[in-house]
Amino acid sequence: MKIAVGMLCAIALWGEDRQTIDRSFTLPAGPRTVEIRGISGFIRVTGAAGNGVTFHVEQRLDARTPEGLIRLKDEVKLRFTETGGVVKAEVEKRDREWEKGQKVEHDFSVTVPRDVRLVVRNVNGEISVDDVRGEYELKTVNGKVVLNKAAGAGTVETVNGALQATYVDNPRNNVTFKTINGKIELWLRPGLDADFNLKTMNGKIYSDFEMSSRPTSAEAAGEKRGTKWVYRSDGKAATRVGKGGPLFALSGLNGEILIHSSGK
């Protein structure tokens, strides 16, 4: 029995490969971009002073057989490139479906300069960005997206997951948040001047900011309930806060839309 157990353990270990990958880059002054493209696993990005970009990646390849693991090692590569103020980290794989029992994960912990433009793509896993003030494109399929201490404009999308964003300064350009299954929740600064296109089919829209209606095919009507304004008009509302300004396009299917004043 002891020999049999030992053989089983050896086979199991053959089917798994774990590796820690660390890379560092220094970006030049001026416009600069960091791009991260994953497949499965979390992606966490933190802004910091300076010009450095550091990656700490936990890579896990798992297959039920040694032959499957060998194929994964050959077909999955994490590649880093740096050209003209752009640093890219991308998980590449050959164009085929994973076989049953095969698993690939990369957990990214990344530090970037606060003013970079950030492009993050994922498939299965959450994205979180903290204290990055530049523009952003953040997209995943299965997982939530959290944006904290932001100031720039950009796009945030998922299919299955919630979207959350907290701003230290209100964006000066257009912003898009889109999900299918999940709540959208924003914290914006007092003194907001912005326009909103709001859409949700199965959920209400709440706002700490008083909103006036903008013309649309279904005129929005607001009702005050306690300290919040509630908007619902066939799942769509086109509204304005203050004098109007950058457009916030917030779209969901199953979930509420909540717009908070972070000064309250």
Report CA torsion sign: 188, 191, 196, 201.
Answer: positive
pTM value?
Answer: 0.86
pLDDT of 38: 96
User: Which of 246, 230, 138, 116 has its CA nearest to residue 189?
Assistant: 246
Enter the tokens of residue 82: 């740096």
pLDDT of 100: 72
pLDDT of 227: 61
pLDDT of 10: 36
pLDDT of 1: 32
Phi/psi of residue 197, each to 5°? -110, 115
* Residue 151: alpha-carbon gap to chain centroid: 15
pLDDT of 224: 61
What contacts 155, CB < 8 A, 6 or more positions away?
Answer: 136, 137, 138, 139, 175, 176, 177, 178
**Tens-level pLDDT at each residue, the chain (264 residues):** 333 333 333 334 456 789 999 999 999 999 999 999 999 999 999 999 999 999 999 999 988 888 888 888 888 899 999 999 999 999 988 766 667 778 889 999 999 999 999 999 999 999 999 999 999 999 999 999 999 999 999 999 999 999 999 999 999 999 999 999 999 999 999 999 999 999 998 888 999 999 998 865 444 455 666 666 565 545 678 999 999 999 999 999 999 999 999 875
Report CA torsion sign: 73, 137, 149, 226.
Answer: negative
